[in-house]
Amino acid sequence: MKFLLAQINPVVGDLEGNAKKILSTASKASSNSADLVLTPELSLWGYPANDLLLKKNLIKNQYQILDQLALDIHKKYGNLGITVGIAEIINDSFFPNLYNSIALLERGEWKIIARKIILPTYEVFDEKRYFRSEEKVSVLTKEINNKTWRLGFTICEDLWVNKNIEGRGIHKKNPIFDLKKKKVDILVNLSASPYTFKKLELRSKVSSFAAQYLQVPLIYVNQIGANDNLIFDGNSFILDKNGSKIKQLKSFSEDLSSWDIEQTKTQKNKFEKSEMSSIFDALVLGVRDYAQKCGFKTALIGLSGGIDSALVSAIATAALGSNNIYCVSMPSKWSSSHSKSDAKDLARRLKINFNSIPIENLMSSFEESFINTISFEMAEITNQNIQSRIRGTLLMALANQEKHLLLSTGNKSELAVGYCTLYGDMNGGLSVIGDLYKTYVFKLCNWLDSEDSINHRKSYRLDSGEDLIGENIRTKAPSAELGPDQLDTDSLPPYSILDNILKGIIEEKKDIKQLQEDGYEKELVLKIISLIKKAEFKRKQAPPILKLSSQSLGSDWRIPIAISY
């Protein structure tokens, strides 16, 4: 029996376009004499479709598209079968009234062959809002070349049932245990599993456990592409019955690959990536897909001469091409000479469009207007925020006029403690590095300027023959330049300390006592907790944040604003 793994990038809600993409995979399947094409979870919709799943007209249209797709496949490719992820309607009076299902399109017709059992409700996931859970495991029986095959089908979370690996606890049901009784010949998992740090390692472990427990090969097919703040990395793979990898598909790229069930020879993993290269690839894909799927061709960045805007500029250039990146330096009376020159030099190295708009006169006009009209003299923090908001207004004006996607350049450390200005540097349509702590920003930039990244940079046409970020930017002390010779450490502890405390609070959910046991002073911990609480209203108004960690400060951070604890 021969499979084609279709690691595709659907557009959320584009049912007709996604159907065409699925149909196009059949051509390669036919040329490779495949018997069955496997596409990811909810491949007809794109994942996550969220409240689009509540639109009755889309659900109705889905069935018409499935009917036509089944006919087109049969007409062009005979008895080839294709699995398609759909939202199956349940005809009763209860809500939710959908299953997260897999349909098999074959011989001009389609039928449901699997329904999702485990519905995740952690991090960004909220599937119980839309779907009902299936009770029974799914097995598809297929007759191929006079042999009967029993295929066990699971959908994404159905595989994540081992608390010793993924650490979220025991589910009431365990589809893998239930499939043991069904004596399947192969296990298939169709997923839309977002990228986060170390996710590939965890996927491999839970999949290896399932393959070994059932003593059958396992096919794992994952969606790729970015949908809003979520990045899907692909990395589909096949394991043998001992849990060893036979085949690995590409990372962060669409890929089609055929595999015969009789093939057991292990393929050397030529797509192995380092942590830094994976993070960079994820962010590049996040920016590229967000821009393309939202209809933007160009991006705009406020270039300060600091490391955050430098990194975002490099990512955007890799994503959209240097001709499509527009950067603006907006020096004030507090901007250092090296910030101005560093911004200009970075633009030259990246070969991106660069302009400078000094804002000293604009700041003076604001100050004079307040004093002359209402005798209001701006205090230090107000003056600092006006500087940021002038820049934000200029950037929004340029973005509106030229139809650029404005990219926000703030990092996770700043967003966490509120070291950022609403309607100023927080302006933008997408927060590119809002889930990267400042220490990781430095790590990623150091990697980009190292020999380890040379081939990677060349693949994105970032091979200028010199440092990309530049030593001046990488080694200068972080500063928002809010005043003469001002440094971030005037207001915050060093990022090496701050980020460890933030990670303890945000990702690891540690309390004050636990952080004290880690060696941090109680007063410092209390200060940081207070800053996090006070900045909640800002984060609720931030642009979508590309998710990289298990706990971003975006859609999976659900802390109320008006709280006391």
Q: Does residue 333 have an active-site annotation? A: no
pLDDT at position 139 over 70 = yes
What pLDDT score was predicted for residue 478? 83
| DSSP character at residue 122 | S
**Cβ contacts of 313 within 8 Å, gap of 6 or more:** 301, 303, 325, 327, 346, 347, 350, 352
Residue 432's identity, in one-letter code, is V
pLDDT at position 356 over 60 = yes
What residues are paired with 227 via a beta bridge?
230
Please count the CA atoms within 13 angstroms of the CA of 37 that sit on its side-chain side: 31
What residues are paired with 98 via a beta bridge?
89
What pLDDT score was predicted for residue 485? 75
Give the C-alpha separation, 69 to 465, whole Å: 49
* Listed residue (127, 70, 146) closest to 104, CA to CA: 70
pLDDT at position 464 over 80 = no
60-96: per-residue pLDDT in tens?
999 999 999 999 999 999 999 999 999 999 999 899 9
Three-state DSSP at 73 gives helix
Residues 121, 128: contact at Cβ < 8 Å? yes
What residues are paired with 115 via a beta bridge?
101
* Listed residue (189, 478, 161) closest to 336, CA to CA: 478
Report residue 221: phi and psi, to 5°.
-115, 120
What pLDDT score was predicted for residue 160? 86
pLDDT at position 267 over 70 = no
pLDDT at position 388 over 80 = yes
* Helix intervals (H) in 132-274: 163-166, 175-180, 199-214
Q: In angstroms, how far is CA 70 from the centroid of its own chain?
A: 32
Q: Give the CA distances from residue 87 to residues 12, 13, 21, 22, 188, in Å, rounded to whole numbers and listed in that order.
A: 13, 12, 18, 16, 19
**Cβ contacts of 144 within 8 Å, gap of 6 or more:** 1, 35
What pLDDT score was predicted for residue 310? 96
What pLDDT score was predicted for residue 271? 56
Of 164-168, 242-246, 358-362, 455-459, minimum mean pLDDT range:
164-168
**Helix, strand, coil distribution of the chain in percent, nearest 5:** 40, 20, 40
What pLDDT score was predicted for residue 481? 72
Mean pLDDT of 155-183: 81
Of 174-178, 322-326, 366-370, 400-404, minimum mean pLDDT range:
366-370
Give the C-alpha separation, 125 to 118, whole Å: 12
- Burial pattern 470-479, b for ≥16 Cβ within 10 A else e, equals bebbbebebb
pLDDT at position 379 over 80 = no
Mean pLDDT of 356-379: 86
Residues 340, 355: contact at Cβ < 8 Å? no
Of 241-255, 364-378, 421-435, 466-480, minimum mean pLDDT range:
364-378
SS3 of 304-339: the string is CCCHHHHHHHHHHHHHHCHHHEEEEECCCCCCCHHH
pLDDT at position 171 over 70 = no
What pLDDT score was predicted for residue 2? 93
Give the C-alpha separation, 307 to 456, whole Å: 20
Q: Which of 123, 134, 156, 510 is catalytic?
A: 156
- At 368, the pLDDT band (50, 70, 90 cuts) reads confident
Report residue 251: phi and psi, to 5°.
-95, 140
What pLDDT score was predicted for residue 268? 62
CATH assignment, 278-487+535-539: 3.40.50.620
Of 154-168, 412-426, 505-519, minimum mean pLDDT range:
154-168
Residue 369 burial by Cβ neighbours in a 10 Å radius (0-12, 13-18, 19+): exposed
- At 333, the pLDDT band (50, 70, 90 cuts) reads confident
Of 42-51, 323-332, 350-359, 456-465, minimum mean pLDDT range:
456-465
Q: Does residue 41 have an active-site annotation? A: yes
Three-state DSSP at 292 gives helix
87-129: per-residue pLDDT in tens?
999 999 899 999 999 999 999 999 999 999 999 888 889 999 9
181-219: per-residue pLDDT in tens?
999 999 999 999 999 998 889 999 999 999 999 999 999
pLDDT at position 336 over 80 = no
pLDDT at position 169 over 70 = no
pLDDT at position 483 over 80 = no
268-305: per-residue pLDDT in tens?
655 567 899 999 999 999 999 999 999 999 999 999 98
Give the C-alpha separation, 198 to 206, whole Å: 13
* Listed residue (279, 243, 252, 284) closest to 461, CA to CA: 284
Give the C-alpha separation, 544 to 214, whole Å: 41
Question: What angle, 0 to 180 degrees and rounded to 10, lies between the N-to-C axes of helices 380-402 and 360-374?
Answer: 120
pLDDT at position 477 over 90 = no
Q: Give the CA distances from residue 491 to residues 373, 495, 524, in Å, rounded to whole numbers and listed in that order.
A: 32, 11, 12
Q: Was domain 2-264 assigned CATH 3.40.50.300?
A: no
| Cis before 96 (ω within 30) | yes
Q: Which of 21, 41, 503, 547 is catalytic?
A: 41
Q: In angstroms, how far is CA 254 from the centroid of its own chain?
A: 15
Q: End-to-end distance of the chain based on CA atoms, in angstroms?
A: 59
Residue spans per domain, the chain = 2-264, 278-487+535-539, 493-533
What pLDDT score was predicted for residue 165? 66
Mean pLDDT of 243-267: 89
Mean pLDDT of 144-168: 84
pLDDT at position 266 over 80 = no
pLDDT greater at residue 330 or residue 480: 330
H or E segment at 399?
helix 380-402
Q: Which of 21, 106, 116, 547 is catalytic?
A: 116
- Beta pairing class for 255-260 and 2-7: antiparallel
What pLDDT score was predicted for residue 168? 64
